[in-house]
Structure 1
Amino acid sequence: MRQHGRVLTPTQFLAIADRAAAADGVDPLSETTRLSLRRDGASVVGAPRGEAGGAFVADDGSVELCVDPDMRRRGLGSAIAAEVLAQHPGSKFWAHANLPAAQALSRSLQLTVVRSLWRMGRPVDGEPAVTAPVLPDGFTARPFEVGRDEDAWLAVNSAAFVHHPEQGRMTRADLAERMAEPWFDPNGLLLIQDSSTGALAASHWTKVEAGQRDEGEVYVVAVAPAYQGRGLGRAVTALGLEHLKSVGVQEISLYVEGDNTAAVATYSRLGFTRTGIDVMYALPSGAH
């Protein structure tokens, strides 16, 4: 990509993102982007004037952009976004929480919403009550074992999310990065296996950020296609919720595609309500 202004170092860009998160109450960068910025060779396109902001363009064309809170209302966000579009017309911009500034920027560049990601949540002590599930006959549950289950988990995850733009592309290196994070707990990655074959049938990866014990997350729920339709999705979801309750969190959150009506309905029945939204913007089809 042709540089626009200066190129920030990943460390500088992360510092700007941290300041923006503190000012807005919303992190402008996803976990995936933050991990990517730690890798050797990561680059960030900077704002026209100094270390005021920048954008990270992922391999799939998704973009996350932020401007230092002290440098806003000067057209820097629009300038960075316009440069990204000039070089990568198919780029798609994430707007976490779809804040008013992101909406204004999208209007100025005539971008339209192409994807929405709902954040849903529920209190642990809400209704329906979080209880340990009864597994379907022929299945058993156990926690993830480091050094044993990585390949099997990746295979199920890839098959379950074959059409998902991010989750289905997770590699062994991606998994290792997340397992190296301070929040990773193998006891919070619950597996359901076929008792007769030992095959991994479903999993529920929960997440509790280090130092934030009041809230837990339904991080990834996956059911192998060969085992779908047997009630394992609901069972493994309940298994993870019960685990989060057992470690003492007060609130449980998750992210789900806004147009996945079946998943939204399932989580709604489990007591989750929408608490926020991330939106992806792009140029209208044919306008590239």
Structure 2
Amino acid sequence: MSTLEWPADPSDAQVAAVLALADAATDTDGMAPFSEATTLGLRRLPQHGAAAGLRLATIGHAELVGAAVLADDGSAEAAVRPDARGRGLGRRLIDALLQERPDAQLWAHGDLPAAQALARAYDLQVSRNLWRMQRAVDAEPAIRPRAAGAPDAPVVPAGFAARSFVPDQDAQAWLDLNATAFAHHPEQGRMTMDDLQDRIAQPWFDPEGLLLIEDTAVSPHRLVASHWTKVAEPDSGEGEVYVVAVDPAYQGRGLGRAVTGLGLAYLASRGLQTIDLYVEGDNGPAVATYTRLGFERTSIDVMYSRAVHPMLTP
């Protein structure tokens, strides 16, 4: 029987094996078992140890057949290598996670049937829904590429100005806006400078695709809204509404609509076919806004936990 371990100081080789396992699971399931934040955290783990905010559990001797990641906030993810499934490894990983953190909240990306079955076996309840929504670029004229000055181009309200992100200049201001806009969000609002720099260092990062709106009526100008777009694989034809943030003190001035439109127009200008986004399923106003923009739900990530967390409903 393969041994389950919690390596105190995971090596580069162990982390590489976990990431390879995740790639194999993604190829089989069509859904990544670990989030982007977890994947980036794993890559930091050998150098940063506990400071990376993650703990790793592994199953396997000569070859890794299962792995789980437990974050400091109690969120957790697990994966079993496709050719090793059906041996009870998923249960062993969940047992280990719940022993370490009885209040752990377990992500099921795509909420696949196997994950639903495990949730039922452990009497876990849904505590959170994260929707993936998608639309075709040409489904709505408002996000087609436009000539400069076209009447239907996104309009920035008077007293504000739009520009692109400058990494050496805007990083801290963007983090401050992000923390304010997502003060109550369980992950996004806790993004650190290291988290931001990790993303800036990724091959897909494009500062032109991180659109900012500033209040130009104050000096110095104040960053009040942003739309970070993402094109992870240009050849895929897919782009993403990565993060949209508006300073709560400036809500109700049309900035959310303006910055969303700017980002969507930028993605359309890249020649993409579809645009994706993720939104909390219980965020009714956001879901309604994106639905009006032509987005439809294509999949759902579900967080399961014991009956110790409030139930969130879509």
TM range (shorter): over 0.9
Check the 8 A contact 1:117/1:278 in 2, yes or no. Answer: yes
Name the residue aligned to 1:209: 232
Name the residue aligned to 1:253: 276
1:120 to 133, 140, 148: 133
Name the residue aligned to 1:280: 303
Could you report, residue by residue, the CA deviation over 1:68-89 in whole angstroms, capped at 9, with x for unpaired residues?
Answer: 0001011110111011101210
Post-superposition offset of 1:135: 1.3
Task: Tell me the amino acid that sits aligned with residue 57 of structure 1.
Answer: L
Check the 8 A contact 2:31/2:110 in 1, yes or no. Answer: yes
1:31 to 31, 36, 39: 36
Name the residue aligned to 2:312: none
Task: Tell me the amino acid that sits aligned with residue 112 of structure 1.
Answer: Q
1:220 to 232, 240, 243: 243
Name the residue aligned to 2:4: 4
Name the residue aligned to 1:101: 114
- TM-score normalised to structure 1 length: 0.95
**In 2, Cα distance between the equivalents of 1:85 and 1:4?**
14
Change (3 A) 1:97 1:158: same
Task: Tell me the amino acid that sits aligned with residue 137 of structure 2.
Answer: V
List alignment gaps of at least 5 residues for structure 1: none
List alignment gaps of at least 5 residues for structure 2: 145-152, 310-314
State yes or no: 1:159 paired with 2:180. Answer: yes
RMSD: 1.6
**In 2, Cα distance between the equivalents of 1:210 and 1:87?**
37
Structure number having the greater helix percentage = 2
2:287 to 264, 269, 272: 264
Check the 8 A contact 1:94/1:280 in 2, yes or no. Answer: yes
Check the 8 A contact 1:48/1:79 in 2, yes or no. Answer: no
Structure 2 residue matching 1:148: 3-state secondary structure? helix
Name the residue aligned to 1:150: 171
Structure 2 residue matching 1:54: 3-state secondary structure? strand
Aligned length in residues: 284
Change (3 A) 1:43 1:259: closer
**In 1, Cα distance between the equivalents of 2:5 and 2:222?**
53
Q: Which runs of 4+ in 1 moved over 3 A?
A: 3-8, 210-213
Pairwise mapping of residues 49-198 of structure 1 onto structure 2 (< 5 A)?
A: 51-130=64-143, 132-197=153-218, 198=221
Task: Tell me the amino acid that sits aligned with residue 125 of structure 1.
Answer: D
Could you report, residue by residue, the CA deviation over 1:98-151 in whole angstroms, capped at 9, with x for unpaired residues?
Answer: 000100111111111000000001000003531530111111110001211111
Check the 8 A contact 1:143/1:188 in 2, yes or no. Answer: yes
Q: Percent identity?
A: 56
Task: Tell me the amino acid that sits aligned with residue 242 of structure 1.
Answer: A
Name the residue aligned to 1:14: 19
Could you report, residue by residue, the CA deviation over 1:21-73 in whole angstroms, capped at 9, with x for unpaired residues?
Answer: 00111111110000000112265201266521010101111111000000101
Moved more, 274-283 or 192-201: 192-201
Check the 8 A contact 1:156/1:223 in 2, yes or no. Answer: yes
**In 2, Cα distance between the equivalents of 1:89 and 1:13?**
24
Task: Tell me the amino acid that sits aligned with residue 278 of structure 1.
Answer: D
Check the 8 A contact 2:238/2:274 in 1, yes or no. Answer: yes
2:265 to 226, 231, 242: 242
Check the 8 A contact 1:128/1:271 in 2, yes or no. Answer: no
Task: Tell me the amino acid that sits aligned with residue 265 of structure 1.
Answer: A
Task: Tell me the amino acid that sits aligned with residue 137 of structure 1.
Answer: A
1:45 to 38, 57, 64: 57
Task: Tell me the amino acid that sits aligned with residue 120 of structure 1.
Answer: M
Task: Tell me the amino acid that sits aligned with residue 108 of structure 1.
Answer: A
